[in-house]
Each structure stands twice: as C-alpha cells, then as structure tokens.
Amino acid sequence: MSTNAMLSAGGHFSDLCANDPELAALRTSIREFLRADRDAHGWAPQVDSWLSCWDEEFSIRLGAAGFLGITTPREYGGAGLGHLHRYVVTEELLAHGAPVAAHWIADRQVAPALLVYGSEEQRRRILPRIAQGRFYSAIGMSEHGAGSDLAAVSTRATRTSGGWVLSGSKVWTSGAHHAHQVVVLARTSAPDPEHRHAGLSQFLVPCDARGVTIDPIELMSGEHHFNEVLFDEVEVPDADVLGEIGDGWHQVTSELSFERSGPERILTTLPLIAAVVARMARTNDIDDSVAADIGHLAARLTSLRQLSVAVARALVAGQAAANQAALVKDLGTRFEQESVDIVADLLDRTSADPDPAIQSMLNAAWLHRPLFTLRGGTNEVLRGVVARGMGLR
C-alpha cells in the first residue's frame, strides 16, 4: 500500500489482504455500519479499544447488525460464516477504534471454545447471547505464581457429590468487574512432575456466584481494567464444567494461534496513526522526510497484515501454524509499540496546534504501550516457543 493510499483512505486499508469479493462486500458493510453508528452515537476512535472501551450498548447494536458470532452456526444465533469473514470485521472494528471491549473476550475466545468443547446445553444457553452482544466473559488463567508458566496454577477444584468446589485466586483478569462469567482454569488433580500440564480443567463461573470476590487492580493511568478474583469455596455444578476434566491445558492452547496472530496484534494503535497522518496531510506538513517515515510505517503495517492473513488462511486450511502465529505476535506487537514513538516524533515535526483528540489517543497509547507485548503470552516466552519449534532444545 502506498503512502498516498494510506492518506486518501484516512488509514482504512483496502489493499492486498483478505479482500476476495465476498470479503470485500462484508468489509464495505461493516464500514457503513461503523460510520453510521459513530455519527448516531458519537463515540470517538480510541487506541487499544479492545482492552479499554467497554460499551455494552455498542456491543448490542453490533450484534443486532449481525457482526458478532460470525463463525457461530446459525442454529446457535450466529452468522455461520468463516474465520476470514471474522478477520475482516475484526480488522475494521480495530481500525475504526470502535468501543468493542465488552463483547471482545466472549466473542473471540468463549464462543469458539464452546463450539469445540461445550455441551449442547451450554451452547444453547450462551452462544445466542454472545451473538446478540449481551453476554460478557472474563478469562481467569493467570495467578500470582502462574503467568507464563500456567502449569503452576494452584486454584483448585475439588469433587463433591453435585459438582465441584473451587478455591484460589486469579490475577490480571480483564473485565471481570463487568462480566457475567469468568472461565477459570483450575487444578483438578495433584501436579505430576512428569506431565506438568496434566490435571487442569476449565469451569464457567458466574461472577455473582457465592464465594466470588472481584477486587480492582488499577493501571498506572488510574484506569480499571484488571482485577484480582478470589474464589472461596465456590460451588460449580457439573453443567458448568467446560470440556473434559483434566483436558484444560489442551483446551486453552488449541485455539491460541488464531488469537496470537489476529489483527489485534497489529492494529491496536492504527486509529492514532491514521489520525496523525490525515492531520499532517491537511496541514501540509508532509515534506520528504515525513513522507519517508509514513511510507516506512505503511510498508511495515502492510507486510504484517499479509503475514497475519497468511497465518489465518493456514489455520482455516487446518495447517499447523503455531510458530508463525507466535512470530506474527512478536513482530506485530513490537510494531505497535514502536508506532507510538514514531507518531510522537511526527507530531513534533508539525507546525499546527495540538489536536486534543490526537493528544488524548497519544497519551493513552503511551500508557498502554508496555501491555502490548505482555498480554496473550509475553514475546520472550513466544520466542522460546518458536526456537523449540525450530528444533532448539
């Protein structure tokens, strides 16, 4: 994609990737929805909107327009389309900086997990509400002593006559203070040093269940996204076990490649980049050196996008792409971090007065910047995955 194309499109990229005719039509319709919704409801584009911008009314409108539950079969209230359709919708939501945080985890992680591992009753109970944008979920994997090394999870579920009793604590649980449920990874049998990932299981735990306490952990900006979630002898019926007891590790890792290589590992700062480039074009601040920097940004973004779509296509075709997905996350999230420095430098070279909307996005981007390479498995750990995948012992 050329710098001119980036400028003229206001930063919403149409070239090259995931634009087969059917996907292009879908792209047009989600763009039209977003423009109309923004005009009607006045939300402003934000960076990192998938973590920060919780707006349940937006999620409900998005669901009503048919843009949630894209890969969920129609019998469960979804659109019955493919992963690349979902990719296109996700890309546009992020590029527009839309307020998507409320439904994000439920739509991205919980719906696919229910389709593969959920019981029929769980699917019928939860999937239609996810597709309507009315059901929100948190993921409870990390603990104080178990982040990168999830085998060290010590939250424990003990068998009772009617189900399970859950005790322990989770940390960094995004959105639990607003969500309907937390999907908890817990130990259901004693650790086996020979098979460290065995004996883990997943449970669907309502946030208002007796024994659940949700305490805020504030970001340095004062924002509240994270929580510590405490489970004090919480009773979980068998109907809320997700998948097979003892199969939790396999379940949480099997869908990770889609999540790691998706557009949210590349486009977190795009609303800021697009706004800065468009403003510099309007104020005639683009000399050769600025054009070269913007061209460099656009070239990196386009390459990353093609890599990301290539991984999505490989996964859809059933090919193994865990290493490629880990590499895309490493490259993509580092691009996201560096893009903040680059646009700040571009802004230093403008003659125009500061634009408050851009300044606000830049401030948010600075504060969220360290998070980009941590969430979803740190980049250092992913490089270990890649090295082992390439044969290193």
Contacts of 192 (CB under 8 A, 6+ apart): 198, 199
88 near ligand FAD, judged by CB under 6 A: no
Q: Residue 145: count other Cβ atoms within 10 Å of its Cβ.
A: 10
Under the criterion CB under 6 A, does residue 17 sit at the interface with ligand FAD?
no
Q: Identify which of residues 81 and 141 has a Cβ nearer to ligand FAD in the complex.
A: 141
Stretch that binds ligand FAD, among 27-35, 140-148, 208-216, 331-339 (CB under 6 A): 140-148
Of 172, 167, 178, nearest to 203 (Cα)? Answer: 167
- If the CB atoms of residues 36 and 217 are measured against ligand FAD, the closer one turns out to be 217
Residue numbers 368-387 binding ligand FAD by CB under 6 A: 371, 374-375, 377-378, 380-381, 384
CB 171 within 8 A of CB 213: no
Q: Does 181 bind ligand FAD (CB under 6 A)?
A: no
User: What angle separates helix 270-282 from helix 356-368, to the nearest 10 degrees?
Assistant: 150
- 199 to 228: interface string for ligand FAD, x by CB under 6 A: ------------------------------
Residue 389 found at the interface with ligand FAD (CB under 6 A): no
Structure tokens at 66: 């048919």
Residues in binding contact with ligand FAD, number by CB under 6 A: 19
**72-to-68, 76, 112, 253, 255 alpha-carbon distances in Å:** 9, 7, 8, 20, 15
Both tokens of residue 388?
């082992």
For residues 5 and 374, which CB has a smaller minimum distance to ligand FAD in the complex? Answer: 374
Residues linked to residue 214 through DSSP beta bridges, in sequence order: 229
Is residue 141 close enough to count as binding ligand FAD by CB under 6 A? yes
Q: What part of residues 23-62 is at the interface with ligand FAD (CB under 6 A)?
A: 51
**CA gap 95, 105 in Å, rounded:** 18
Which parts of this chain interact with ligand FAD (CB under 6 A)?
Answer: 51, 138-142, 147-148, 172-174, 371, 374-375, 377-378, 380-381, 384
